[in-house]
Amino acid sequence: MNTAMRISDVTDIVEPSVPDPGSPEFLYVDLGSVDAVSKLVSSPKPTLVSAASSRARQRLRRGDVLVSTVRPALNCVASVSPPLEGATASTAFSVLRPRPELIDDRYLFHWVQAPSFVAEMTRLATGGATPVVSDLQVRESSIPVPSLPDQRRAADVLDQSDQLRHQRRRAIALLDELVDATLLDLLESAERVGRLRDLIESATPGFLGKPGGGAALPFIRASNILDGEIDPAGLTETGTDARGLDSRGLESADQNRLVRSGDVLFCRTGNSATIAKAAVFRGDGASYGAPLLRIRPALADAGDFLAAYLNSVPGRAALRSLASITAKSLISMPIPLPAPAALTEFSGRLRDIRQAWAIERLQSVRLDELQASLQFRAFTGRL
């Protein structure tokens, strides 16, 4: 049976403590140190004591649970591992120090990841662009507290499920690294350096607004370009039909701003999440917005290479050398020119990686669903 208690009833207060003035530096854990996806302190910062932030006020112990009070919907939480013993955390975290006779630290860590806890903190948050909760609100929230043996058993199950999720995410990351390595091999095999125009037929800006007339057709925005692919979620429709252009008498300007399978869409303006992102379109036809350039490859297998290069580190370096990103400047951008046979081989290898990535991503989604189900059962006493 689970007994509802306040988090403050099962944790100790962490008294404010400045970094040791007798040491030249200390390990600082701020919001940027925690990976909100992996729930790990991935990049603690060695910091000079003389340069310590006024927020560096919470000395950590092994088993402490960190809960970010900033943007609680992101659920930026972490458990303090042995190497972080004695590190100092920012006051932007609520540091929960479990009382071992009442609460298992792993159980508490899993609780602050539970959808019900995240939803409550999100509801309590105040502020406009940067919603926050207080340390008091975190501590005054409720937690189901079964017996310690039941807590440990639930934590064991959730640990195992979480480990599988981490392994799946790592497999996806390795596939992303394989794409980079495959592209690097292709670049090293390039016969010469030319210009983007050597590989394409045209680079055409999109519509300032949505085109009209004809039957429905997907309309692609910059926000639809994700992870080198075009995300179909959120695509809207226009009134232009790419399959009946001649019979409908569509203006030539509209014809030039339609996408066909194999074209590359490149975002030339926007925010940090969208600018300079590229993806190959795979479908029957679409139109696209003004922030995008449609790059039409001259060779059938060049699209995959162009998108991968524009998304890569060397490609972004080449883009930064341009005074501005326009259709005219882009086609003049220097680019390695692999042999046609090498482009075909790269496209095939990329297709295999994409298929493996899709399988891994599907399994990752299923593991996330399993974790959510196990969390619900664990915290309602049904595990």
221-232 pLDDT per residue, tens: 888 888 788 887
Number of C-beta neighbours around residue 234 at 10 A: 8
Same fold for the pair 3-145 and 192-337? yes
Pick the CATH number of 3-145 from 3.40.1740.10, 3.40.50.300, 3.50.50.60, 3.90.220.20: 3.90.220.20
**3-class state of residue 236 by DSSP:** strand
Distance of alpha carbon 339 from alpha carbon 165, whole angstroms: 40
Distance of alpha carbon 5 from alpha carbon 143, whole angstroms: 5
What is the average per-residue pLDDT within 89-93?
97
Residues 199, 337 contacting (CB under 8 angstroms): yes
- Six token digits for residue 130: 């940067």
Q: What is the mean pLDDT of the chain?
A: 90
Pick the CATH number of 192-337 from 3.90.220.20, 3.40.50.20, 3.40.50.300, 1.10.1040.10: 3.90.220.20
CA 244 to chain centre: 39
Segment 38-42 long-range contacts (CB within 8 Å, at least 24 positions apart):
38/166, 38/169, 39/75, 39/77, 39/78, 39/79, 39/109, 39/113, 40/78, 41/66, 41/78, 41/80, 41/81, 41/84
What is the average per-residue pLDDT within 337-355?
95
Distance of alpha carbon 198 from alpha carbon 221, whole angstroms: 27
Distance of alpha carbon 164 from alpha carbon 365, whole angstroms: 12
Range in 87-91, 250-254, 330-334, 363-367 with the lowest mean pLDDT: 250-254
All structural domains of the chain with their residue ranges: 3-145, 147-182+339-383, 192-337
In sequence order, the β-bridge partners of residue 280 are 264
Distance of alpha carbon 48 from alpha carbon 26, whole angstroms: 6
pLDDT in the model for residue 221: 87
Number of C-beta neighbours around residue 66 at 10 A: 27
* φ and ψ at residue 347, rounded to 5 degrees: -60, -40
Q: How confident is the model at residue 275 (pLDDT cuts 50, 70, 90)?
A: confident
pLDDT in the model for residue 238: 64
CB neighbour list of residue 299: distance below 8 Å, 6 or more residues apart = 199, 340, 343
pLDDT in the model for residue 291: 87
Residues 225, 279 contacting (CB under 8 angstroms): yes
Look-up: residue for tokens 């400045």? Answer: 18
pLDDT in tens, 290-309: 889 999 999 989 999 999 99
Q: How confident is the model at residue 23 (pLDDT cuts 50, 70, 90)?
A: very high
- Please, is 127 exposed, middle or buried when counting C-beta atoms within 10 Å of its C-beta (0-12, 13-18, 19+)? exposed
